[in-house]
């Protein structure tokens, strides 16, 4: 059977375990040998016990767990050619020439670099006497499929990333909890949620939890935002609301590109309206807890499709990402998605909101 390895890299997200489980079981079902690589690229570079063969049962009882049971890490060495070459040796020694990378745009870029180097690495490893020509001939290339695990939904080319729905669920539970106390004391709450380049979590949470105001990176507030905000809050109070909820994405900014923090929003409300105002920063709570049904299914579907894609790839096949598009699993060119995702980030850094929103869109 073919050697397939699965690893998780970059920031963790709920539903990654479901994807890992699905890759392992679909792989075994199709007659592959499937390996876990623990601790992302670090485990690939270090080899040894970090690369272990998976069994059908080794992925039982993980679908309901948040995070990733095989560990994730950031790895400096993998950014260097020498580090990637060490990783190549660890894989080829085990006959692994198919990878499922579950991570963000950084991890997927790394996977693409790795594939570009592969044939050179194999030749050099033979020259250095680390592998035989026979081994080199058996594994002339490597196939790569990416799955996007990210709570931010910040990747172009898929409607949803694995983990976003669960993070939203957690955020909404937290806001509901805060609303209960705010209601009792007639308070205003400013809630900071994750999202450096992408306001999806903030925007959707604001809609789902009935917030009064929302600050996101893609839609910088105008110069007179303080006035607009306070008018809105006052209006809601006049209409009988006993509380106010404002949501601020980590990457929120004004039209000049100046960061807007939750503390700053609180100070404005306190100073101008004299409302009892508190800040709640949700932080890593958003990554925690059980994955939602949606993320479990998304992980399952994407993982299975990833293995099917690997089995159909040929030497010439470019790496692909499995994405969800209108509730269908589709394969899209990996580097095209990464480049678009990076273009959005650059456009936002350049304060070119129009381009950012255009690239963020579906087509």
Nearer to ligand ADP, 179 or 306 (CB): 306
195 annotated ligand binder: yes
* Least distance (Å) between residue 196 CB and ligand ADP: 11
* Least distance (Å) between residue 181 CB and ligand ADP: 34
194 annotated ligand binder: yes
**What does the H/E/C string look like for the chain?**
CCEEEEEECCCCCCCHHHHHHHHHHHHHHCCCEEEEECCHHHHHHHCHHHEEECCCHHHCCCCCCCCCCCCCCCCCHHHCHHHHHHHHHHHHHCCEEEEEEEECHHHHHHHHHHHHHHHHHHHHHHHCCCCCHHHHHHCCCCEEEEEEECCCCCCCCCCCCECHHHHHHHHHHHHHHHHHHHHHHCCEEEEEECCCCCCHHHHHHHHHCCCCEEECCCCCECCCHHHHHHHHHHHHHHCCCCCEEEEEECCCEECCCCECCHHHHHHHHHHHHCCCEEEEECHHHHHCCCCCHHHHHHHHHHHHHHHHHHHHCCCCCCCEEEEEECCEEEEEEHHHHHHHHHHHHHHHHCCCHHHHHHHHCCC
Residues that bind ligand ADP (CB under 6 A): 9-11, 41, 74-75, 78-79, 103-107, 109-110, 113
Nearer to ligand ADP, 9 or 143 (CB): 9
Closest chain position to ligand ADP (CB):
106
Nearer to ligand ADP, 154 or 192 (CB): 154
* Least distance (Å) between residue 232 CB and ligand ADP: 35
104 annotated ligand binder: yes
Nearer to ligand ADP, 105 or 250 (CB): 105
* Least distance (Å) between residue 221 CB and ligand ADP: 27
152 annotated ligand binder: yes
Residue from 12, 46, 152, 295 carrying the catalytic annotation: 152
To the query of whether residue 152 is one of the catalytic residues in this protein, the response is: yes
Return the closest-CA partner of residue 190 out of 262, 250, 273, 249.
Answer: 262
Nearer to ligand ADP, 47 or 95 (CB): 47
74 annotated ligand binder: yes
* Least distance (Å) between residue 62 CB and ligand ADP: 21
289 annotated ligand binder: no
Residues of the binding site: 11, 74-75, 104-107, 150-152, 187, 194-196, 250, 278, 284-287
Residues of the binding site for Mg(2+): 105
Residues of the binding site for ATP: 11, 74-75, 104-107
* Catalytically annotated residues: 152
């Amino acid at each position: 059977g073919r050697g397939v390895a699965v690893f998780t890299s970059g920031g963790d997200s709920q539903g990654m375990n479901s994807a890992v489980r699905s890759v392992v079981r679909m792989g075994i079902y199709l007659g592959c040998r499937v390996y876990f690589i623990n601790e992302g690229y670090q485990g690939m570079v270090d080899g040894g016990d970090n690369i272990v063969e998976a069994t059908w049962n080794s992925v039982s009882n993980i679908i309901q767990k948040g995070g990733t049971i095989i560990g994730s890490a950031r790895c400096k060495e993998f950014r260097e050619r020498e580090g990637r070459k060490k990783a190549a040796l660890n894989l080829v020694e085990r006959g692994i020439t198919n990878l499922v990378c579950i991570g963000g745009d950084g991890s997927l870029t790394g996977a693409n670099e790795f594939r570009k180097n592969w044939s050179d690495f194999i030749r050099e490893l033979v020259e250095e006497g680390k592998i035989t020509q026979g081994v080199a001939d058996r594994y002339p290339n490597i196939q790569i499929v990416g799955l996007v695990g990210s709570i931010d939904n910040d990747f172009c080319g898929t409607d949803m990333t694995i983990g976003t729905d669960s993070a939203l669920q957690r955020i909404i539970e937290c806001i509901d909890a805060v609303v209960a106390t705010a209601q009792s004391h007639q308070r205003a709450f400013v809630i900071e949620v994750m999202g450096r380049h992408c306001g999806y979590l903030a925007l959707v949470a604001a809609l789902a939890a009935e917030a009064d105001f929302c600050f996101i990176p893609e839609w910088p507030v105008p110069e007179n935002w303080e006035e607009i905000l306070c008018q809105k809050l006052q209006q809601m109070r006049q209409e009988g609301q006993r509380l106010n909820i404002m949501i601020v994405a980590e990457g929120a900014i004004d039209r000049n590109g100046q960061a807007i923090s939750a503390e700053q929003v609180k100070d404005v409300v306190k100073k101008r309206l004299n409302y009892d105002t508190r800040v709640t920063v949700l932080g890593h709570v958003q990554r925690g807890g059980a994955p939602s049904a949606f993320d479990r299914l998304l992980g399952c579907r994407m993982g299975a499709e990833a293995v099917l894609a690997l089995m159909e790839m040929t030497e010439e096949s470019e790496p692909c990402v499995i994405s969800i598009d209108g509730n269908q699993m589709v394969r899209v060119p990996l580097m095209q998605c990464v480049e678009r995702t990076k273009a959005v980030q650059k456009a936002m850094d350049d304060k070119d909101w129009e381009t950012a929103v255009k690239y963020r869109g579906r087509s």
